[in-house]
Amino acid sequence: MPEQTQPTNRPDRNLAMELVRVTEAAAISAARYMGTGNKDAGDQAAVDAMRSFLRTVDMNGTVVIGEGEKDNAPMLYNGELVGTGEGVEVDVAVDPVEGTTLLAEGRPNAIAVIAVAERGSMWNPGNSFYINKIVVGQEARQAIDITKSPSTNLVNIADALGRNVEDLTVFVLDKPRHASLIEEVRQTGARIMLHSDGDVMGALMAAIPGTGIDVLMGVGGTPEAVIAAAAVKALGGGMQAVRAPQRVEEKRQLRKDKVKINEVLHLDDLIQSDNTFFAATGITESTFLEGVHFDRRGGVTTESIVIRSLTGSIRYIKGIHQLNRKNLVGGNVGTTPAHVAMDIILPD
């Protein structure tokens, strides 16, 4: 008998396209519910599609960032095993619909997201649900210090970029908790782009040159922070975070867990591996990724981004899908994709 080769312990580049297929399936299924006002149905359709396609991916994956502990609903939950069980062992972080309200209301910037890294390398937030963070691109990654004020950070970021503070654009979630942050940023003269949701999208835009966003600031969910960290690390950007509990119960539980609430978490704390994958597919329109388009002939087009940290590869992928009713996913029609890829950086 020929000797069997042992699977590598590191994810290889072939995984990238498999992850794009997963986010495409989730995005197409969710897009059916755009503007319907039913965010739970859209989220559920994306979850079902993502789970279905993950079963076909050759990896031994464990969901580290998902929908929380398993409950009666068929969600992707923390600790769930995904993939075929063959091949590399990896941590998996998912957000089948980042921006469920955006999807339900037909607003821009809803995306389907997945991140993968070597087993044991993703930070587990435990009972920490909210976290304050700052994200920038590669040129300013040494300029940030989350222990300093937003205005000080903006001055330092502007210096690193060789620009004036007034030329910077800051992505901030439009939440009551950010009233003082918004006021301080305005006092510096920097411009603000307010979004009701879309923490991962904001981090992605801050880390990629040419999106019109220079920095993300503010408090968002800790699961989204870990997913964002995978993308930021792959892009060579900078990110720092500090837990920011918003509820009395959360603070009480963190104290019980003896967590250092004021501890600064750097990018290597959030994602320890240097071999991460990040994939996202647009569900609704944005200035960064096109949303899912259904055409008159029954076809579907999608736009995705996939990034790998080991090589720095960034690919924008235009998916042209022919609907096939023999393959139903999440209650919606499945797809047979034909991809047209545009390599922004040389292929790995």
Residue 304 CB coordination number (10 Å): 26
Residue listed under structure tokens 């950007």: 237
| Residue 176 marked ligand-binding | yes
| Residue 298 marked ligand-binding | no
| Residue 224 marked ligand-binding | yes
- pLDDT range class, residue 291, cuts 50, 70, 90: very high
- Integer Cα distance of 62 and 83 in angstroms: 9
CATH architecture of the region 130-271: 3-Layer(aba) Sandwich (3.40)
List b or e across 133-167, with b for residues whose CB sees 16 or more CB atoms inside 10 angstroms.
bbbbbebbbebbebeeebeebbbbbbebbeeebee
Q: What is the pLDDT of residue 159?
A: 98
| Residue 133 marked ligand-binding | no
| Residue 42 marked ligand-binding | no
Q: What is the pLDDT of residue 13?
A: 60
Instruction: Name the nearest CA neighbour of 315 among 271, 346, 285, 287.
Output: 346
| Residue 95 marked ligand-binding | yes
| Residue 175 marked ligand-binding | yes
Q: What is the pLDDT of residue 332?
A: 43
| Residue 183 marked ligand-binding | no
The 10s digit of each residue's pLDDT in 53-83 is 999 999 999 999 987 655 555 578 889 999 9
Percentages (nearest 5) of helix, strand, coil residues in the chain = 30, 30, 40
- Integer Cα distance of 232 and 239 in angstroms: 7
| Residue 166 marked ligand-binding | no
- Integer Cα distance of 156 and 141 in angstroms: 10
Q: What are phi and psi of 74, to 5 degrees?
A: -80, 65
pTM across the whole model: 0.86
Sequence-ordered list of residues with C-beta below 8 angstroms from that of 257, at least 6 positions apart, any chain = 126, 127
* Fold assignment, 14-122+277-345: Fructose-1,6-Bisphosphatase; Chain A, domain 1 (3.30.540)
| Residue 7 marked ligand-binding | no
- pLDDT range class, residue 4, cuts 50, 70, 90: very low
For the ranges 156-170, 217-231, 280-294, 313-327, the lowest mean pLDDT is seen at 313-327
What is the pLDDT of the chain when averaged over all its residues?
Answer: 87
The whole-number average pLDDT for the span 96-109 is 94
- Integer Cα distance of 258 and 169 in angstroms: 37
| Residue 99 marked ligand-binding | yes
Distances (CA, A) of 81 to 65, 76, 78, 116, 222: 12, 9, 9, 13, 21
- Integer Cα distance of 79 and 66 in angstroms: 8
Sheet holding 215-221, edge to edge: 191-195, 169-173, 215-221, 130-136, 238-243, 264-266
The whole-number average pLDDT for the span 111-128 is 93
Query: What percent of the chain is modeled with pLDDT above 70?
Result: 87
Please state the separation of Cα 283 from the chain's center in Å. 13
The 10s digit of each residue's pLDDT in 193-218 is 999 999 999 999 999 988 999 999 99
Going from N- to C-terminal start, the domains of the chain cover 14-122+277-345, 130-271
